[in-house]
Amino acid sequence: MTADVGKPLMTWKDLLSRPKPMPDATVRYGADALQVVDVWKPAGTGPHPAVVMIHGGCWQTGIAERDIMNWIAGDLRSHGVGVWNIEYRGVDRGGGYPGTYLDVAAAADLFALRGREYGFKTGAPVVVIGHSAGGHLTLWLARRWGLAKGDALRGDRPLKVDLAISQGGLPDLRAQTTLPDHGCGAEAAVQMARGEFARTSPPEMPKGRARELQFNNARDSIAPPSFGAAYGAEMVTTAGEGHAELIAPDTISWAKQRAVILKAFGLKDAKK
């Protein structure tokens, strides 16, 4: 595979028109219709390594839900990696601050509590991966451990993340509130922070124990590499690809991400 900067970028229509793989089960973590997790189980008895996955969509349910991640979830499943794909309330469905964070935290913590029931290994390494706004939530989840004990966003037993992978993420909420022309606009970021940047915006939170790794594509107009560079965590950039390619199984940028995930679990990538 070679990067071709002249090649047309993948559109959302391109991705959504493909046959969609489906999960094996759905688990509820709350009463709201959006408070669920899709479970993707590899073939065999296990136990299998598994990732916690968080979709994007500008923190808005009306833009995207968890099924936007189905294609890479299916790809990981075919490589022997389970997926715990989180749904949550967006700012347009009762989320924002604090609801979205409480949802993501509850769903992630449930992985540690119930993942074994689905044949998953729930101990180290714990890998979390998220796209776009889900990249922000992934990095937040990795740093959540450092919030003060007693903080409702921290919870009593926050998931200990070892590797946090941001896919074209929007890590800096404060910056997003001042950039009305970026892909998601400023209003959703305002609702996600409500001024509580020290508890919601990863660059203003204490750095956690997790390795933080950003994948940004050079032609991504929604989350350009400059966003990742400003955050300062380790970053891998792919030329010739955009925002949608980060969650499409047959792209250069996804192949790089998959290789990192499989290596973290001590697995070989048969498609390399």
Report the C-alpha gap between 220 and 178 in whole angstroms.
19
What is the per-residue pLDDT for 197? 98
Q: How confident is the model at residue 185 (pLDDT cuts 50, 70, 90)?
A: confident
Q: How confident is the model at residue 3 (pLDDT cuts 50, 70, 90)?
A: very low
* Whether 200 contacts 226, CB under 8 Å: no
**The domain containing residue 219 runs over which residues?**
53-263
Residue 117 in domain: yes
Residue 28 in domain: no
Task: Region of 34 please: left (phi>0), alpha (psi -120 to 50) or beta.
Answer: alpha
CA–CA–CA angle 128, 134, 138 (5° rounding): 35
Residue 19 in domain: no
Residue 142 in domain: yes
Residue 207 in domain: yes
Q: How confident is the model at residue 208 (pLDDT cuts 50, 70, 90)?
A: confident
> For 136-164, what is the mean pLDDT?
97
What is the per-residue pLDDT for 5? 57
What is the per-residue pLDDT for 62? 96
In this structure, the number of other CB atoms found within 10 A of the CB of residue 166 comes to: 33
Q: Is the peptide bond before 47 cis (omega within 30 degrees of 0)?
A: yes
Closest CA to 145 of 81, 208, 231, 65: 208
What is the per-residue pLDDT for 4? 52
What is the per-residue pLDDT for 2? 47
Question: What is the domain-level CATH number for residue 164?
Answer: 3.40.50.1820
What is the per-residue pLDDT for 180? 64
Query: Which of 1-5, 87-91, 205-209, 221-225 has the least mean pLDDT?
Result: 1-5
Percent of the chain with pLDDT over 70: 96
Residue 15 in domain: no
What is the overall mean pLDDT for the chain? 95
* Whether 103 contacts 55, CB under 8 Å: no
Q: Does residue 181 register a pLDDT over 90?
A: no
Residue 162 in domain: yes
pTM: 0.95
DSSP 120: B
Instruction: List pLDDT tens digits, range 20-58.
Output: 999 999 999 999 999 999 999 999 988 999 999 999 999
What is the per-residue pLDDT for 7? 83
What is the per-residue pLDDT for 184? 86
Query: Residue 135: helix, strand or coil by DSSP?
Result: helix
Residue with tokens 């792209």: 251
Report the C-alpha gap between 180 and 26 in whole angstroms.
36
CA–CA–CA angle 120, 121, 122 (5° rounding): 105
β-partners of residue 120 are 48
What is the per-residue pLDDT for 149? 96
Report the C-alpha gap between 219 and 238 in whole angstroms.
9
Tally DSSP H helices, then E strands, for the chain. Answer: 9, 8
Residue 36 in domain: no
Query: How many structural domains comprise the chain?
Result: 1
Which two structure tokens, joined as six digits, stand for 246? 């980060």
